[in-house]
Amino acid sequence: MSLRINDEAPNFTAPTTQGIINFHEWIGNGWAILFSHPKDFTPVCTTELGYMAKLEPEFRKRNCKIVGLSVDPVENHEKWAKDIEETQGYAVNYPMIGDGDLKVAKLYNMLPAEETGTSEGRTAATNATVRSVFIIGPDKKIKLTLTYPMSTGRNFDEILRVLDSIQLTANYKVATPVNWKNGEDVIIVPAVSDDDARKMFPDGWKTVKPYLRIVKQPH
């Protein structure tokens, strides 16, 4: 069964390029992004992990750790990391999980439909993880799930944007409109009455419709 938003993120212990981690302990009291890639030493994955290396300081500012995963062994990750830095210009300073026994890939339903990971005689080499992303909150609950086809590189700027929205809406009774970016106006959620909204947003808001009230982003 696939994982859904607000499910608890399955815990696991796994080897990484920064040692063995217990996932929930590693997350601690912050946020985390777990993202998988199909295979080391492949072109799209190289660009993706290099871009995540570039964005890692931005995630860190938001108290969010990132960790990559594929079914390749940790030793391959370590060798490949040199290629990533050479070609993309950024060193991979976040851990990469070596999921050789497919344990995490199965827990998080990261295998494509035709690759169950359970057929007799199959190995890690013949099971490729698709491009999955999970944002996990301090409560260890899944806040976002995203899966791309193997042939399409992800937009990690979008993942950062969504994290900004999730963190903002976790603290204030607002929602973010289409294409919202950090710092732009937000929407007061319909469950908040006008009377309560006056207390929360004393500077006022713009009412487009009774259910659509635009207000400056709270801080």
Domains of the chain: 13-154 (3.40.30.10), 172-215 (3.30.1020.10)
**Mean pLDDT estimate for the chain:** 93
Q: Are strands 186-188 and 206-209 parallel, antiparallel or unpaired?
A: unpaired
Q: Which of 32, 45, 96, 133 is catalytic?
A: 45
Rounded to two decimals, the pTM is: 0.91
Residue 120 has pLDDT above 90, yes or no: no
45 as an active site residue: the answer is yes
CA-derived radius of gyration, the chain: 20
Q: Are strands 64-70 and 31-36 parallel, antiparallel or unpaired?
A: parallel
Side chain identity at residue 189, one-letter code:
V
Residue 41 has pLDDT above 50, yes or no: yes
Looking at residue 113, its pLDDT comes to 66
Residue 121 has pLDDT above 60, yes or no: no
CA distance 133 to 135: 7
User: What sign has the CA pseudo-torsion 173, 146, 64, 26?
Assistant: positive
CA distance 210 to 204: 14
Looking at residue 119, its pLDDT comes to 40
CA distance 42 to 25: 31
Residue 145 has pLDDT above 50, yes or no: yes
